[in-house]
Structure 1
């Protein structure tokens, strides 16, 4: 396999995996988890989606990977302790979504991409970014996928200890990141694969099933036995060997995106 390319796009670090085949190719862009794998390079190793005739560009989330403060996740952890929703979860999703159009334009200037619709993929909190791109942007998307995603941010907040002290501002923020409530808009934009580990947090798994139900025929569910929330071993910052459960997720993503790629999109080796 070709070596990954690394760089920045409008200030956003990325790890890019080139397509199988020559010439301009479609783009699939991803946003990683804040659990392991918690960097663009580590996410690329966990879910490389080899064999697709598309660029897979894995973007770094705020304060992760190359954007860590002083080379560690400590600054992000401090924000999480300060206020898990309004200092951590919500601004991370908002920043990653808002910086994406400029990053996409920069990627198109740097890489031999075609000018057609893109694919989007997100894991955990990165799944909320992918869903927000679908729910709020007008960027053309041919297909999306999420893995153990933050489908309803209220469920993610409930994973933190104690009762969260909601006020009017935080209620508005958390409700804006309820993507079951926005399923009609998402379904109108692109077909969506919802990947859910059978051992994921119960609230997140229930939300995944609710999203599939709300999306109807525009969605598909891939339920993965033995998969908890993370896709890689700790610490999850550097690329690591692909775990068997991640390999199963990866195979499902390859099949899904191959099925929906624009005309160029048959998988090298014949998977579909």
Structure 2
């Protein structure tokens, strides 16, 4: 297999895994977790999808990997301490989604990817980014997938200590990141694979099941016995050997995208 290619796309760091032969091929873009694996390089190692005949470009989330402040996650934790929703969760998802169109154009200028619909994949908070691309943009997508995703941001806020003091502004913000409520828009855009660890946080697990129910025939649930929330061991910043449960997720993602890539090619032909 070819070595990863590292670079930046409109200021966003990426790790690109080329298809066999390094030639022109479709594109799948991913956004990593803020749990392990918490960088684009580590996410590429955890879920490489090597058997797909596509470019897999793993984007870095804000303030992660090459964009960490002083080489640590301390600045991220300080934002979470200030206001977990309005200083941390919402701005991360918003920035990652807003910087994507320019990053996508830069990827297409740098790598031999085709100009057809893309695949999107996100894990945990990166899953909210992938879902926002589906729900709130018109970027053509042939298929999407999320893994232990932040489907309802209110549930993610509930994972943090203390009772969050919602007001009108924060209620509006958290509502804008409820993707069960946006299931109709998502279903109209692309089929979605929802990967959920059976040992994930109960709230996130319940939201994943609710999203599948809301999407109906446009979705599929892949439930992974024994999988908790992370996909890699701590610290999760550098690439690490793929864990057995991550290998199961990787195999399911590969099957999903291969199937829908074939469907997309039939439509385009």
TM (norm. structure 1) is 0.96
SS in 2 for 1:154: helix
Q: State the match for 1:135 in structure 2.
A: 135
Q: State the match for 2:45 in structure 1.
A: 45
Matches within 5 A, 1:220-239: 220-239=220-239
**Could you tell me how far 1:51 is from its partner in structure 2?**
1.2
RMSD (Å), alpha carbons: 1.2
Q: Deviations over 1:8-31 (max 9, x none)?
A: 000000000001345310000000
Give distance in 1, aligned partners of 2:181 and 2:219: 15
Indicate if the aligned counterparts of 2:142 and 2:264 stay in contact, CA closer than 8 A. no
Give distance in 1, aligned partners of 2:20 and 2:173: 41
Q: Deviations over 1:91-124 (max 9, x none)?
A: 0000000000000000000000011000000000
**Could you tell me how far 1:263 is from its partner in structure 2?**
6.5
2:70 is the alignment partner of 1:70: yes
Give distance in 1, aligned partners of 2:24 and 2:262: 12
SS in 1 for 2:155: helix
Give distance in 1, aligned partners of 2:55 and 2:40: 14
Q: State the match for 1:268 in structure 2.
A: none
**Could you tell me how far 1:264 is from its partner in structure 2?**
8.6
Matches within 5 A, 1:133-212: 133-212=133-212
Structure 1 residues 264 and 168: CA distance shift in structure 2, 3 A: closer
SS in 2 for 1:35: coil
Instruction: Point out where structure 2 has 5 or more consecutive residues left out of the alignment.
Output: none
Indicate if the aligned counterparts of 1:121 and 1:145 stay in contact, CA closer than 8 A. yes
Q: State the match for 1:103 in structure 2.
A: 103
Task: Identify which range, 227-236 or 255-264, moves more after superposition.
Answer: 255-264
Indicate if the aligned counterparts of 1:19 and 1:54 stay in contact, CA closer than 8 A. yes
Aligned residues: 266
Q: Deviations over 1:180-211 (max 9, x none)?
A: 00000000000000000000000000000000
Q: Deviations over 1:112-138 (max 9, x none)?
A: 001100000000000000000000110
TM (norm. structure 2) is 0.97
Instruction: Point out where structure 1 has 5 or more consecutive residues left out of the alignment.
Output: 266-272
2:23 is the alignment partner of 1:23: yes
Indicate if the aligned counterparts of 1:21 and 1:53 stay in contact, CA closer than 8 A. no
Give distance in 1, aligned partners of 2:263 and 2:137: 24
Q: Deviations over 1:17-52 (max 9, x none)?
A: 001345310000000000000000000000000011
